[in-house]
Chain A
Amino acid sequence: MEERKIRIMVAKPGLDGHDRGARVLARCFRDAGFEVIYTGCHQTPEQIAASAIQEDVDLVGLSCLSGAHRYLFRQVVELLRQQGADDVTVIGGGIIPDEDFQMLYDAGLKAIFTPGASLDSIVEWVRNNVKPRT
């Protein structure tokens, strides 16, 4: 029978290999009933955008702990936009200094989660803000 499911891609752009958080989040999204595609570490923004389109996801969750989020996150949003996939919601997480938040929101990210954010709060944000496309 007809049923729309939320599809999410969890991705780690750049050279940072610390993916414990990303994996925990992927598992947590799974338990929330979403379909989650995990790309693994060391992805280029180009790989992430292309994969998100091939997988037709509603949401891309980017994780970065290396400090390169300013470039990498913005680049993913930009590449999705260039390929006509600006309806894909992009959120980010990791070690993000407060002063970078505005810049990332301006770039098109819809939410940013930093250490201390509870898994429940992230899932709730997704439920409230991401609707599977109709």
Chain B
Amino acid sequence: MTPKSEDIEKARKICKGDVRTASRLIRDLEDQIPEAKATIKQLFPHTGKAHIIGLTGPPGAGKSTLIDALIASFQKKNKTVGVLAVDPTSPFTGGALLGDRIRMQRHAENPGVFVRSLATRGALGGLSKAVGDAVYVLDAMGKDLIMIETVGTGQQEVEIINHSHTVIVVLVPGMGDEIQAIKAGILEIADIFVINKANRDGGGQLYSELMAMLDMTKIPAGGWRPPIIRIENVFEPVLFQEKLEELSAKIDEHHQYLVDSQLLGDRLRRKSTLEINEALRVCILEPVLKELVKTGELDQMAEKLIRKESDPYTLAEDVARRYLSAVH
């Protein structure tokens, strides 16, 4: 298909940094408007330059506040920043209160900073389905760094690793046996740990437990051992700033490490495979499902299952035989 001139025009505007065009495209991506993909196709060749940083951790750990401070730090290094902040959608009403932005409003007028709130809209991995494509939009706009903030996470919301080069896990003391609670999932994905509010009771214990956990993790020679940065008090500007610069430097260091060790390529490969997976689902499964809904066949199949006249696998194979002649 030859690209439409309006899509080329939109892509050109976004590459020039046009905020309104970019934010409208992100809206279309969230709303899953099929035409939005056409613009992404045009933007795709202009992406791949940004360093993508994911921040995750339990609700109230201070992710948004850290992002606010990191924006300032990166701006000082003359880097432009994009932020995608995800908050949950209500499973009952479909509504959402997106409040991450409140912490970052001092950057609202800064032309080098673009902050966008996204609702999960039912996605389960701690992100929105539109995050992948929204990252491309910010990347094509020329943002040097893109920070993605997940919803407040529990144990299993690890999808952030598929979208970022550097994952920062933000923890806080005083949540009981948080190490036990999150040992299997979220602690494994960290490239950098932040213990926020580390001056609170249990801060020392959390630090030593994390150290012990890392000591038991096999890290190959020349490999990356996730550093732990303790941020003690957001209300002591000098101290806070010091720690923040340390975090900011570690982020740059990790990026350099990924480039030098060629691990960046591995991460990109993992991401690309998943993207193909998702694109196939959209291109193959969704049109078939749409058709089955339209013809009422999906309901009929459900009825058959209820009456035990068939099973899900036989029914799916029937559909596959009809629609996927090349495979079957």
Cβ contacts under 8 Å, A99 to chain B: none
Proximity string of chain A (43-72) to chain B, C-beta cutoff 8 Å, 1 when within and 0 when not: 110111011011110000000000000000
Q: Which residues of A contact B33 (CB under 8 A)?
A: 2
| Interface status of A36 (Cβ within 8 A of chain B) | yes
The yes or no answer to A83 lying at the interface (CB within 8 A) is yes
In the bound complex, CA of A32 to CA of B92 (Å): 10
Question: B19-31: contact bitstring with A at CB < 8 Å (1 yes, 0 no)?
Answer: 1100110110011
Give the interface size class of chain B.
Answer: 20 to 34
> Which of B50-58, B95-103, B152-160, B259-267 lies at the binding interface?
B95-103
* Complex: A100 Cα to B96 Cα, angstroms: 33
Residues on A with beta carbons closer than 8 Å to the beta carbon of B19: 53-54
Whether A47 and B105, one on each chain, are in contact in the complex, defined by CB atoms closer than 8 angstroms, is yes
State whether the Cβ of A34 lies closer than 8 Å to any Cβ in chain B. Answer: yes
Cα-based distance from A38 to B117 in the complex (angstroms): 10
| Interface membership of A17, Cβ < 8 A | no
- Does B309 make an interface contact (CB < 8 A)? no
- Chain A interface residue count, Cβ-Cβ cutoff 8 angstroms: 35
A75 to chain B, nearest CB (A): 13
- A26 CA to B97 CA, complexed, in Å: 7
Min CB distance B84 to A, Å, is: 11
**Cβ < 8 Å to A, chain B residues 76-101:** 89-90, 93-99, 101
Known A-B contacts A2-B33, A26-B97, A56-B23; A35 and B119 likewise in contact (beta carbons under 8 Å): yes
Binds B, one of A3-11, A104-112, A114-122: A3-11
Enumerate B99-124 residues with CB–CB distance to A below 8 Å: 99, 101-102, 105, 108-109, 114-117, 119, 121
**A27 at the binding interface (Cβ < 8 Å):** yes
Interface presence of B32 (CB below 8 A): yes
Report A62 CB to chain B, min CB distance, Å.
15
Closest to B23 in A: A56
- Give the interface SS of chain A, mostly helix, strand, loop or mixed: mixed
A83 contacts across to B, CB distance below 8 A = 20
A21 near B: Cβ within 8 Å? no
Please give, as numbers and ranges, the residues of chain B lying within 8 Å of A48 by CB-CB distance: 108
The DSSP consensus for interface residues of chain B is mixed
Complex: chain B residue closest to A58, CB-CB: B27
Docked-complex contact B23 and A36, CB < 8 angstroms: no
Alpha-carbon separation in the docked complex, A32 to B109 (Å): 30
**Residue in B23, B32, B96 whose beta carbon sits within 8 Å of that of A55 in the complex:** B23
Shortest beta-carbon distance, A81 to chain B, in Å? 13
> In the complex the two chains form, is A50's CB within 8 Å of B109's CB?
yes
Chain B residues in 8 Å Cβ range of A40: 102, 105
Evaluate contact between B27 and A56: CB separation under 8 angstroms.
yes
What are the 5 closest A-B residue pairs judged by CB atoms, nearest first? A40-B102, A30-B95, A47-B108, A56-B23, A56-B27
In the complex, 21 of the A-B residue pairs with CB atoms within 8 angstroms, ordered by the A residue number, are: A2-B31, A2-B33, A3-B31, A5-B30, A5-B31, A31-B95, A37-B99, A38-B101, A39-B108, A43-B105, A44-B109, A47-B109, A50-B109, A51-B105, A51-B108, A53-B20, A54-B23, A54-B116, A55-B101, A56-B23, A56-B27
Instruction: Please name 9 further chain A to chain B contacts, defined as beta carbons within 8 Å, in addition to the given A30-B93, A30-B96, sorted by A numbering.
Output: A2-B32, A3-B32, A4-B31, A7-B27, A46-B109, A47-B109, A53-B20, A54-B115, A55-B101
